[in-house]
């Protein structure tokens, strides 16, 4: 039997195989951020398809940390009953689930949260929406730490098997870790130890309140900002700090949505779909910019693998999650056999083929996802995430 089908423990939780549905925004929550029947069906299909561990989409822990209209929220106790429905269908299918707790910080828009977005420092207008955030006060930081810890508690009450903390993708914790976004001179910035403090306090708080629940962190290993943010060298330092506070698993990723969108997923630039999401006045400049990106982000199978190899020596006995561009069964298997990662995370392949694990078991050799990225174009247009290889539906 292939190693991909063997079980492995993360902390005290056994995952039946090494296939993980990577965190995927589904765009199917209702306007209050609650679970819908449509979402339950997505999770049921993934679990019935034999997926070992299902990571949810990023969920806002605080109303100011919301990034998208149809995003799931985990910011109050009313979220729990809906999330339990997701956990139940996953458990019935024999899988495990972790809810990704997140705060978008500066990576959101005032229309969505009703005020200027918050960030570690009031610097740098981003090149996508030209937003300069307001700097967080100590009170704001304390509120966010408490919100993450409370959200972790809700995720476990709802049936989450692992606590999953989002510190990548350019969202708030990534912003604190990055010297490009964080130029604070107090105890929350100025050195790697200080920039890491918010992550440390969140995870220590989670551990203090939830005991030995396993903790998985998704962190950037390379931000691709115009000047260095989180770099592989810095990611290695942070990984050593994560090991010291005893997290159980680490997933490394790259790219910042508002700065280096295509580095987050690579593949084809969905020019038409992204243009469609822009207001008319932005389209000419948008077209020029997107055309310049074309052909520069071709899919690289396992593009985060080198980062994973680089940090591995400092990660102790954490389970390592590889995400990004994994498409061929043989390649995934070799990564495990060589001991370079313990779990394989797939996002777009599961959007296209929720039953991919079953298909692999039957002998299929690779995912049919073409990395055309029209599913990303759907997110930008507020259309629920599905495979739109044939094109996006018309606007309703
Ligand atoms: C439509 C879509 C939605 C995504 N949503 C999230 C998300 O909610 N949280 C997150 O951490 N990453 C998210 N990602 C990034 C994926 O988890 C993954 O890191 C990336 O797509 C690369 O993996 P892949 O090549 O298997 O698609 C999303 C990616 C796509 C394509
Ligand atoms: S639209 Fe379908 S084929 Fe294209 S990247 Fe998304 S899942 Fe893959």
Task: Quote the ligand 1 centre to 25 CA distance (angstroms).
Answer: 7
H/E segment holding residue 175: helix 172-177
Q: What does DSSP assign to residue 117?
A: P
pLDDT in tens, 89-121: 999 999 999 999 999 999 999 999 999 999 999
Nearest CA to ligand 1 atom 14: 24
Question: Is residue 232 packed enough to be buried (19+ CB in 10 Å), middle (13-18) or exposed (0-12)?
Answer: middle
State the residue range of the domain holding 169: 3-380
> What's the confidence (pLDDT) of residue 264?
96
> What's the confidence (pLDDT) of residue 394?
86
Closest approach atom of ligand 1 to CA 373: 31
Task: With respect to residue 353, please indicate whether it lies within any of the assigned structural domains.
Answer: yes
pLDDT in tens, 34-73: 999 999 999 999 999 999 999 999 999 999 999 999 999 9
Q: Is the pLDDT at 303 greater than 80, yes or no?
A: yes
β-bridge mates for residue 366, sequence order: 328
Q: How confident is the model at residue 129 (pLDDT cuts 50, 70, 90)?
A: confident
Return the CATH number at 129.
3.20.20.70
Task: With respect to residue 193, please indicate whether it lies within any of the assigned structural domains.
Answer: yes
H/E segment holding residue 93: none
Task: With respect to residue 392, please indicate whether it lies within any of the assigned structural domains.
Answer: no
Q: Is the pLDDT at 182 greater than 80, yes or no?
A: yes
Q: How confident is the model at residue 300 (pLDDT cuts 50, 70, 90)?
A: very high
For residue 345, give the nearest of 362, 372, 367 by alpha carbon. 367
Strand extents, DSSP E, 71-157: 96-102, 118-119, 134-135
Task: Quote the ligand 2 centre to 387 CA distance (angstroms).
Answer: 5
> What's the confidence (pLDDT) of residue 5?
98
Task: With respect to residue 352, please indicate whether it lies within any of the assigned structural domains.
Answer: yes
Mean pLDDT of 232-242: 98
Checking DSSP bridges between strand 8-10 and strand 13-15, what pairing results, if any? Answer: antiparallel
Closest approach atom of ligand 1 to CA 253: 19
Per the structure, the count of domains in the chain is 1
β-bridge mates for residue 250, sequence order: 217, 320
Mean pLDDT of the chain, nearest integer? 97
Q: Is the pLDDT at 395 greater than 90, yes or no?
A: no
Q: How confident is the model at residue 396 (pLDDT cuts 50, 70, 90)?
A: low
303 lines ligand 1 (CB under 6 A): no
| CA atoms of 124 and 110, how far apart (whole Å) | 16
Task: With respect to residue 134, please indicate whether it lies within any of the assigned structural domains.
Answer: yes
Percentage of residues in the chain having pLDDT higher than 70: 99
H/E segment holding residue 344: strand 343-346
Task: With respect to residue 196, please indicate whether it lies within any of the assigned structural domains.
Answer: yes
Task: Quote the ligand 2 centre to 346 CA distance (angstroms).
Answer: 12
Mean pLDDT of 312-320: 97
Nearest CA to ligand 1 atom 22: 324
22 lines ligand 1 (CB under 6 A): yes
For residue 24, give the nearest of 86, 116, 112 by alpha carbon. 86
Q: Is the pLDDT at 146 greater than 80, yes or no?
A: yes
Task: With respect to residue 388, please indicate whether it lies within any of the assigned structural domains.
Answer: no
> What's the confidence (pLDDT) of residue 376?
97
Task: With respect to residue 389, please indicate whether it lies within any of the assigned structural domains.
Answer: no
- Which-ligand-closest: CA of 368? 2
24 lines ligand 1 (CB under 6 A): yes
Please report where in the chains the tokens 């080198």 appear, as a residue: 306
Question: What is the token pair recorded at 308?
Answer: 């994973």
Q: Is the pLDDT at 245 greater than 80, yes or no?
A: yes
């Amino acid at each position: 039997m292939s190693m991909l089908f063997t079980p492995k423990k993360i902390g005290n939780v056994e995952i039946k195989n090494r296939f993980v549905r990577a965190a995927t925004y589904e765009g199917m929550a209702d306007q209050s951020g609650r679970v819908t029947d449509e979402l339950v069906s997505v999770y049921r299909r993934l679990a019935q398809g034999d997926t070992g561990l299902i990571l949810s989409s990023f969920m806002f822990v605080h109303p100011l940390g919301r990034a998208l209209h149809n995003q799931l929220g985990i910011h109050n106790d009313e979220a729990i009953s809906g999330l339990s429905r997701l956990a139940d269908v996953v458990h019935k299918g024999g899988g495990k689930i972790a809810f990704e707790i997140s705060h978008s910080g500066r990576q959101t828009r005032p229309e969505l949260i009703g005020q200027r977005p918050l960030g570690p420092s009031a610097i740098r207008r981003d090149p996508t929406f030209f937003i300069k955030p307001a700097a967080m006060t100590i009170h704001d930081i304390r509120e966010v730490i408490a919100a993450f810890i409370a959200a972790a508690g809700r995720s476990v009450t709802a049936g989450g098997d692992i606590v999953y903390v989002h510190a990548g993708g350019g969202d708030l914790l990534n912003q604190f870790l990055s010297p490009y976004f964080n130029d604070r001179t107090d105890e929350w910035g100025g050195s790697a130890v200080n920039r890491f403090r918010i992550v440390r306090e969140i995870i220590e708080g989670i551990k203090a309140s939830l005991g030995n629940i396993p903790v998985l962190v998704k962190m950037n290993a390379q931000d691709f900002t115009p000047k260095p943010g989180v770099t592989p060298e810095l990611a290695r330092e942070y990984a050593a700090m994560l090991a010291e506070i005893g997290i159980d698993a680490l997933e490394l990723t790259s790219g910042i949505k508002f700065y280096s969108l295509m580095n987050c997923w690579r593949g084809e630039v969905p020019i038409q779909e992204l243009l469609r999401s822009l207001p008319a006045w932005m389209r000419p400049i948008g077209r020029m910019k997107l055309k310049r990106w074309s052909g520069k982000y071709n899919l690289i199978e396992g593009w985060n693998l080198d980062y994973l190899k680089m940090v591995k020596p400092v990660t102790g006995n954490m389970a390592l999650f590889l995400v990004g561009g994994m498409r061929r069964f043989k390649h995934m298997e070799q990564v495990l056999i060589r001991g370079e990662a313990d779990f394989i995370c797939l996002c777009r392949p599961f959007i296209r083929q929720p039953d991919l694990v079953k298909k692999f078991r039957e002998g299929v050799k690779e995912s049919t996802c073409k990395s055309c990225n029209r599913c990303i174009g759907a997110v930008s247009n507020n259309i629920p995430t599905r495979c739109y290889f044939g094109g996006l539906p018309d606007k309703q």
